[in-house]
Amino acid sequence: MSSKLEIGSGIYTKSEIAKILRLPYSRVSTWIDKYWDGRLKTELDFSYTWTTDNSKAVSFYTLVELYILILLGEAGIKTEDVINGHIELSKIYNTPHPFARKEILESIKTDGKKIYFDTGNGTISLDGKKQFQINFIKVLFKNLSFDNGFLANRFYPLGKNKKIVIDPTRQFGHPIIGNTNIYPETIYNLHQAGESNKFIADLYEIEKKEVKDAIEYCKKAV
């Protein structure tokens, strides 16, 4: 099977992902080549990538799963164990993107060493060995929102309290400001040119907070 390159699914190259997730390009490239275009593709018979303008690109759902990989890594889980969990959940739920589904993410927990999953009938480790009853760390996925089908539909790279949003159905999934179609870079360029936040806000008819958030996003991406 193959992922479909279509309007509304988002198109993200390795360099764009590195910028959005604040990661070194080399790490993003390794993850995509080794896992999503390597082991996951082989194990699940699903093609996660395509080539656009001579660059490898992925959809919004794969971007979300890379974000989940980061969160689980911060919680202490090794990358190989995250991929093992991805494969097991993909097979259980018959989906190539288990880490983009709300009901799956809400059931994931960790003890800082392994990933565990609440099945409703007990908690199991995603290495498929046995059930556990221990104190878990709940992994929070607060930077994501979900549609009525419980699939991730928006990503807030600075958090939901900020106005920068990535929505694959708007501006081809490029980061934008709130309910507008304005790119953060547009605001940041005026800021670098010396324009005041009030002037920029009035010019584009947006809130000063949206101006500040756009500047913050661009500064962190540098």
Query: Strand 164-165 to strand 144-146: parallel, antiparallel, or no bridges (unpaired)?
Result: unpaired
* Percent above pLDDT 90 for the chain: 70
Residue 53 pLDDT > 90:
no
The DSSP code sequence of 153-220 is: EEE-TT-TTSSEEB-TTSGGG--EETTS---HHHHHHHHHTT--HHHHHHHHT--HHHHHHHHHHHHH
Fill in the DSSP letter of residue 139. Answer: P
Domain 1-155 in CATH 1.10.1660? The answer is yes
Q: What are phi and psi of 141, to 5 degrees?
A: -115, 50
* pLDDT classification of 7: cutoffs 50, 70, 90: low
Residue ranges per domain, the chain?
1-155, 159-222
- Mean residue pLDDT of the chain comes to 88
Domain 159-222 in CATH 1.10.10.10? The answer is yes
Choose the weakest-confidence range: 78-87, 105-114, 166-175, 185-194: 105-114
Q: For position 39, what pLDDT does the model report? A: 96
Q: For position 132, what pLDDT does the model report? A: 47
Higher pLDDT, 216 or 3: 216
Q: For position 212, what pLDDT does the model report? A: 97
Q: Is 130 helix (H, G, I), strand (E, B) or coil?
A: coil
Q: What are phi and psi of 98, to 5 degrees?
A: -65, -30
- How far lies 221's CA from each of 19, 115, 164, in Å? 6, 30, 13
pLDDT digits (tens, 9 = 90+) for 105-135: 988 888 888 888 887 767 777 765 555 444 5
pLDDT average, residue stretch 187-202: 96
Is 166 in contact with 20 (CB distance < 8 Å)? Answer: yes
